[in-house]
Amino acid sequence: MPGRALPTAPAADAVPASCSAAVGRRTTAPVGTLRLVAAVAGKDLKVELRSREILYTMALFAAVIVVVFSFSFVKDQKALVAAVPGVAWAAVVFAGTIGLGRAFEREREGDTMRALLLSPAPRLAIFAGKTVAIALLVVAVEAVVLPLCLLFFNVDLGAAVLDLVLVLVLGAIGFAIVGTVFAAMLLRIQSRDVLLPVVLYPILVPMIMSGTKATAAILAANDADAWFWIKFLAAYDCVFTIVALWTFEALVIE
Amino acid sequence: MRRILIPLLAACAAAGLAGTLYLVFYVTKLEQNLFFNQKIFYWHVPNWFMLFSMVFLCGGASIGYLVKRDPKWDDVAHAAGELAVLFGAIGLVTGSIWGKAAWGHWWIWELRLTTSLILWLTMLGYALVRRFAGPGSEPLCAGLAIFGMVNVPLVYFAVKLADKLGQASAHPKAKVVAQLDASMKGTFWLSVLTFAAVCALLFLVRIDAIRDARRLRAVRERGLDAGILEP
């Protein structure tokens, strides 16, 4: 490493001067940070859309989970509607973990996470960009899980399906926030594949709990309870956004 | 200092454990409603006290480590995190025995039970990361402890609000301690002190081992860098 770093040191002196000036100008405005977030998220999504590897494997894995669970809860040739919230959220969280692990494994293979962290972009923008990309992937998986659940469990929701979409999107955001911090921290750690779910799921418990409660309330057409849990889910997202922004800088150090 | 402190704490803990067992079974009165079942309370509650103090010590030391980047804070968090797993395990087992006797079930999904189980699982994950993540995992462990600490109130309120919409809580409230008989109260607080001594003893011994292991690693790395040691 030192051998590679030394010869570029004089040149590196000149480059960041112009670079940081440009970025410094850009990042003073919130619009500049937003542009950086969009750039990081766009990069991740572009890489993903070229191979569609994570998208296909996540979606298929989530579909398999829904199918396996729906025939595990069959009674009189009909699947139990009471199992829908648990099945849907288990599928989303399990598939999400696969996608999360793979998305960061890709960064590790190319050693591109180091490049990202070395760039003059603020850590906050890198974190937010990665979170947005992961959240969009999870939303894409939910777009597979939701119709499958409604189909296999014979549920007809009508317009209430929009509430369910809102719940799932809030859940995807919460998952992406906590998941991004943990996956980024685990990047340099041995046995990261097995440790990620072990450390991630206990932290996700309030999200899974409020998500399943909200889903159950929507299925039971209980609007008051559903909105209560939607607000709880939004509060969960806010709390962990704050904690993640506080800690991401200190935790992800190369 | 430590040479005196550790044997002293060990003696206090041994005497305290023997003494509280005697007091629990021969001196304290039988509780009016729960009879003999209530005796486990003298061990169950102090263990949860120790778990929560160890969790907060672990979380506080983790914040300290992230701010100061001093490995001393990391050692404290490491030892406290492991002890939290131990006391949580004792608390869960004694709680289950009590639950079987009082409610007829080893486990129910109740507010305190769910919250403490999730907290214990978080600490178990923390201990696993400590054990298997290898060198360079200190910031990760600190982050995990902080996220776990922030998560506790969220889990608590989620379950509490879910319970509010469902059935009432069956677990005794914290205020039962204040309503205890004088002899029961004395035995209870003696038991708390005993477990505090056990906890402090284990903490001191464990933190010494952790610090020595860290220093040994540092010396070994220096030796390798200097070319004195064979890799």
At residue B33, does pLDDT exceed 70? Answer: no
Q: Which domain holds residue A93?
A: 26-251
DSSP bridge partners of A78:
A75
For an interface test with B, give the residue of A189, A191, A199 to mutate (most B CBs within 10 A): A199
* Pairwise CA distance, residues B101 & A200, whole Å: 34
* Pairwise CA distance, residues A194 & A157, whole Å: 37
Whether residue B6 lies inside any domain: the answer is: no
B147 against A25, higher pLDDT = B147
* Pairwise CA distance, residues B183 & B154, whole Å: 37
At residue B88, does pLDDT exceed 90? Answer: yes
Whether residue A97 lies inside any domain: the answer is: yes
Residue of A198, A225, A252 with shortest CB distance to B125: A198
Q: Which domain holds residue B216?
A: 12-23+36-166+173-226
pLDDT attached to residue A16: 42
Query: Shortest Cα distance from B61 to chain A (angstroms)?
Result: 14
pLDDT attached to residue B195: 94
A-chain residues within 8 Å CB-CB of B128? 195, 198-199
DSSP bridge partners of A75:
A78
For an interface test with B, give the residue of A104, A178, A189, A228 to mutate (most B CBs within 10 A): A189
- For residues B21-50, average pLDDT: 80
Whether residue A11 lies inside any domain: the answer is: no
* Pairwise CA distance, residues A75 & A83, whole Å: 12
CB atoms within 10 A of CB A46: 10
Whether residue B161 lies inside any domain: the answer is: yes
Nearest to A196 by CA among A83, A93, A127: A93
Interchain proximity A247–B122, CB inside 8 Å: no
pLDDT attached to residue A9: 39
Residue of B140, B142, B150 with shortest CB distance to A189: B140
**What CA–CA distances, in Å, run from B115 to B55, B81, B95, B156?**
13, 17, 13, 6
Report the mean per-residue pLDDT for chain B: 86
pLDDT attached to residue A106: 87
At residue B121, does pLDDT exceed 80? Answer: yes
* Pairwise CA distance, residues A31 & A26, whole Å: 8
B-chain residues within 8 Å CB-CB of A239? 150, 154
Provide the residue count of chain A.
Answer: 254
Interchain proximity A202–B125, CB inside 8 Å: yes
For chain B, the domain total comes to 1
Whether residue B88 lies inside any domain: the answer is: yes
Whether residue B3 lies inside any domain: the answer is: no
- For residues B112-117, average pLDDT: 84
Residue pLDDT tens, chain A, 254 long: 343 443 333 343 334 444 444 444 444 567 788 899 999 899 989 988 998 888 999 999 999 999 998 888 887 777 788 889 999 999 999 999 999 998 888 888 888 888 888 888 888 888 999 999 999 999 999 999 999 998 888 888 888 889 999 999 999 999 999 999 999 888 878 788 888 998 899 999 999 989 999 999 999 888 888 999 999 999 999 999 999 988 888 777 65
For chain A, the domain total comes to 1
Whether residue A20 lies inside any domain: the answer is: no
Tokens of B139: 């910031």
Matching residue, tokens 């506790």:
B152
* Pairwise CA distance, residues A248 & B105, whole Å: 42
A-chain residues within 8 Å CB-CB of B139? 185, 250-253
For an interface test with B, give the residue of A180, A228, A247 to mutate (most B CBs within 10 A): A247
Whether residue A4 lies inside any domain: the answer is: no
Interchain proximity A181–B147, CB inside 8 Å: yes
Matching residue, tokens 């910031």:
B139
Whether residue B31 lies inside any domain: the answer is: no
To the nearest 10°, report the CA torsion of B222, B226, B230, B231. Answer: 60
- For residues B142-161, average pLDDT: 85
Query: Shortest Cα distance from A201 to chain B (angstroms)?
Result: 9
pLDDT attached to residue A14: 39
Whether residue B180 lies inside any domain: the answer is: yes
* Pairwise CA distance, residues B59 & A47, whole Å: 37
Measured CA angle at B135 (ends B63, A201), to 5 deg: 60
Whether residue B2 lies inside any domain: the answer is: no
Contact A87, A146 (CB under 8 A): no
* Minimum Cα–Cα distance from B162: chain A residue: A213
